[in-house]
Amino acid sequence: MTDTVLDDLRQRVHAVLADNDPSTTDAVTFHRARFDAGLAWVYFPVGLGGLGLDREMQPFVDGLFEQAGAPGNNAELNGIGLGMAAPTILAYGTPEQQRRFLRPLWAGEEIWCQLFSEPGAGSDLAAVGTRAVRDGADWIVNGQKVWTSVAHKAQLAILVARTDPSRPKHSGLTYFICDMNDPGVEVRPLRQITGEAEFNEVFLTDVRIPDTQRLGKEGEGWRVATTTLNNERVSIGGRAMPRESGVLGVVARSWRDNPGKRTPELHDRLLRLWVEAEAGRLAATKLRQRVAGGQPGPESSALKLSFARSNQQLSGFELELLGEDGLRYDDWTMVRPDRVDFTGRSAGYRFLRAKGNSIEGGTSEILRNIVAERVLGLPVEPRADKDIAWKDLSR
């Protein structure tokens, strides 16, 4: 960062703060002004919430607003919109779509969810069977989606549907933006092992989506979805984190607060877990630097894989450290939380919820394949169905 650029950013931030006092301006108005000033995503193009700068400038700008007491923009609830939908719309959206969706998304006016996985197409996402059939200027969509976070609060969704069953499964998909308030969209809660229902199943019955809400070309859905998934894995496993934060920080505090439960064997294991978590944190920092000028690549799969493994091992270690105290679980309540809170909950919750880390955002098995084939250059796993029309595949 050059001093000239930093000074310019400071002046821009101060101008927004001067015109929109954080103590008296409502959150939506404040974030609309921040977007219009190019200080939403500073690495986005001018006019779309950014200034065309390096991605590494973002923490500096965020820090200035945070110090000034700026309001939040529903980031915890709208992680899918901010971390997945926004970069996909930027990469594949038309100018009209970018103008329509990016500003209210950033301002927290519209919450987004992700309609990708299905009961028969989770790890093998390209096998999705939800159908979209062209009807004039619209598409008629029928199908079922599952594991949909915040669908019960979302106004919009990114959706992958099959538009050409006669083509191989990766080729006959198209990507859409779906209005969750449209007739034919039904959301049902899915209760998890934690007792809560973060996720939902979504039924789509004759849902009409205008072709103007298609992202990318017809049949290009897999390519567009790959951009979404790469960004999802960075948003899950590659976020900027200080040293000894997250689940590692909680477990380290449990260790320090329970001297009577320590053993040499547990001490050795905690040190190993600390080193692995720190290596993952530094790798995430390096990846963010690499993608500063563009979209994340397959390396993001390694970050998410490491994140899931670390969370599960640390939460298991904490339960073992606490003994019978760790087995007490008083959170078995049917609620629909806005976010996942690993650090503010009990050890039992962390242990149970971490099981989902190796499923959400791509299963660990699939991510290992991606790393092996697309990062390490190992031989590709044989795929007998690669060139067979989707309609001819056994299901």
CB-based contacts of 340, cutoff 8 Å, min separation 6: 198, 353
- 365 included as an active-site residue: no
Q: List C-alpha distances in Å: 237 to 44, 49, 282, 287, 308.
A: 22, 24, 11, 11, 8
- Residue 93 and residue 215 in contact, taking contact as beta carbons nearer than 8 Å: yes
Kindly name the residue from 110, 196, 198, 232 that is annotated as catalytic. Answer: 232
DSSP state of 277: H
- The span from the CA of 304 to the CA of 283, in Å, is 11
- The span from the CA of 48 to the CA of 132, in Å, is 30
Q: Which of 47, 43, 33 is nearest to 5 (CA)?
A: 43
CB-based contacts of 6, cutoff 8 Å, min separation 6: 60
CB-based contacts of 49, cutoff 8 Å, min separation 6: 35, 38, 39, 40, 41, 102, 103, 106
CB-based contacts of 334, cutoff 8 Å, min separation 6: 191, 195, 196, 197
- Residue 92 and residue 216 in contact, taking contact as beta carbons nearer than 8 Å: yes
Which H, E and C letters describe 104-167, residue by residue? HHHCCCCCEEEECCECCECCCHHHCCCEEEEECCEEEEEEEECCCCCCCCCCEEEEEEECCCCC
Active site residues: 232
